[in-house]
Structures are given as C-alpha cells and as structure tokens.
Structure 1
Amino acid sequence: MQAKAPQATSPEAALVRNAFEYCVLKAVPRVERGDSVNVGVIVYCQARDFLDARTHLDPALLLALDPAADVSGIEAAVAAYACVCRGGKQAGQAGETTAGQRFRWLTAPRSTVVQPGPVHLGLTADPAADLERLAVRLLPPQ
C-alpha cells in the first residue's frame, strides 16, 4: 500500500516530491493541415490527489491558422476539458470517476479540433504551483 503524501500546507510537504504528469491541449482548427496553437495545460498528481487545468485561447492566433475557425466552438471544447478536470455532476458521467480515470480519459489521443498532446512526467512538491509555471511557459500570454 502506498503511503499518502503530507498535505501541501505542512512544512515537511515542501521537502517531499511526488511524480506528476501533464499534457498540453492544442487547438488544431484544420486537422488535415496539422497546424496547432496551445490552449491548455492539464496536471495530474496521484499522490496528492490533484487534477486541474489552466486554459487560454487566443482568438487571433487561432484565426491566423484558419480564418474560418469556429472560435466559440473551440472555446466550448476547451472549457469542457477544464470542467472534466474539476469533476462532479456538471462534468457529466466522466465527472463521477476518479481523478486518475479522468486524466487518462482527457489525455487519450483523438483526432478532433482540440487534442491532448503527449503525457510528460516530472517531480513536484506543489502540483498547483507547477501547473501555474507550466501555463506561463506553454500558453500564449493573456
């Protein structure tokens, strides 16, 4: 049985680093061309029972790739990813599953306009802080 990590607010938690996984969400307005723009980051840390996303869609970047892109439809799809991360009834059937199951479902490859990239690994003492750091580095500026 795996021991539970210390809570993030305790002093010893700052010394404990746990494995985490993340992926970048990409908007691919014309799937046949493959051009994409980053629109979100999802971070999952099993040991901390943490799953969350940061999203930002820049309509100008999206329209530069495809002037006919359905910006509102893509915004809705990106918002749905974030909703499933939060879980609960508002996320539908997927929202009632565990954080790990939701992460696996969200990161499964698909050939739609919003696509998850490959899953990357890291170590973290604070998954929320790493989510913010990744969002700053990987998403377009707001």
Structure 2
Amino acid sequence: MPVLSSYDYALLRVMPSVERGECVNVGVILFCRTRQFLEALIALDERRVLALDPDLDLEVLREHLETISLICEGKEEGGPIARLTLSERFHWLVAPRSAIIQTSVVHSGLCSDPATALQHLVNTMVKPHSAKTARA
C-alpha cells in the first residue's frame, strides 16, 4: 500500500470585479511538505473569464498567473518571493487579498502522489463540466 502524505491546496480564482464578487476558478496551488512539493497548475478558460469582463486584459492576466507558477517553482523570474522556503511561498501565495487574482480558503487532503492529486483537483474543481465529459 502506498504511503499517504498530507497536502494543502487552494483554488486560484479570477475575480475581475471585486465589488460584484463573481469569479472563475483558473487553477490550483498544491503544497505537500513531506514530499517537498509546491506547484501551481493553471487552466485558464479565457471565454469564461471574458464573460465576466469583456474588457479584461488577458495578456496581463496570463503574465500574473505565470508568475504564480514561477514563484512555486522557485525560479529567479518569480522575484524575491520565489527565494523563500516552500512553506513561506505557499503561505504568501494563499494569503487573502483584494485583487483580480484571489485564492480560496486552504483545504487539506491525503495523497500518494502530489502531482496526480493536483491534476485531479484541476480536473474536478477548475475545468468546466463540458470539458470533463468530452474527455470521457
């Protein structure tokens, strides 16, 4: 039986108008301390985001989402936050903020492979139902 490890995750959400409170899930950040794993997986559905705000600058949004991935990976291009420890990076990324890109509350789970758990979360929590059924 595979050894299970605990992990924490948060959904990445785009909320073009904070005042309206409407959002679209666009990715997941998953942190597994025991496996030294921190990764963000982005699945931006531009059509859904533009339905909330047709004037949203998608290029800027993509750049900011890419920066989240760079911070998770500890890449120099991620700036000073990318030089923090895995735990510090995760907690910085999931801290509450009033911005276009926000995170959900942090949830926990158990897995034998964090990368597989991350993909499962994106498939079930981010991708539209029509995309999931089309693959089946």
TM-score, length-scaled by structure 2: 0.90
Q: What amino acid is the match of 1:70? A: D
Instruction: Find the aligned partners of 1:68 and 1:120 in 2 and give their Cα distance.
Output: 32
Number of equivalenced pairs:
129
Structure having the larger proportion of residues in helix: 2
Aligned twin of 1:8: none
| Alpha-carbon distance between aligned partners in 1 of 2:53 and 2:85, rounded to the nearest angstrom | 36
SS across alignment from 2:77 = helix
C-alpha distance after superposition, 1:1-38 (max 9, x if no partner): xxxxxxxxxxxxx6211110000000001111010001
Unpaired runs of at least 5, structure 2: 132-136
Who is 1:5 aligned against?
Answer: none
Distance 1:74 1:125 in 2: 32
1:70-102 superposed Cα distances (whole Å, 9 cap, x missing partner): 221211111111111111322111111111110
Runs of 4+ in 1 over 3 A off after TM superposition: none
Q: Is 1:109 matched up with 2:121?
A: no
Aligned mate of 1:38, from 25, 41, 49: 25
Please give the root-mean-square deviation of Cα atoms over the aligned residues, in Å: 1.3
Stretch deviating more after TM superposition (106-115 or 51-60):
51-60
Structure 1, gaps ≥5 residues long? 1-13
* Identical-residue share of aligned pairs (%): 39
Normalised by the size of structure 1, how large is the TM-score?
Answer: 0.86
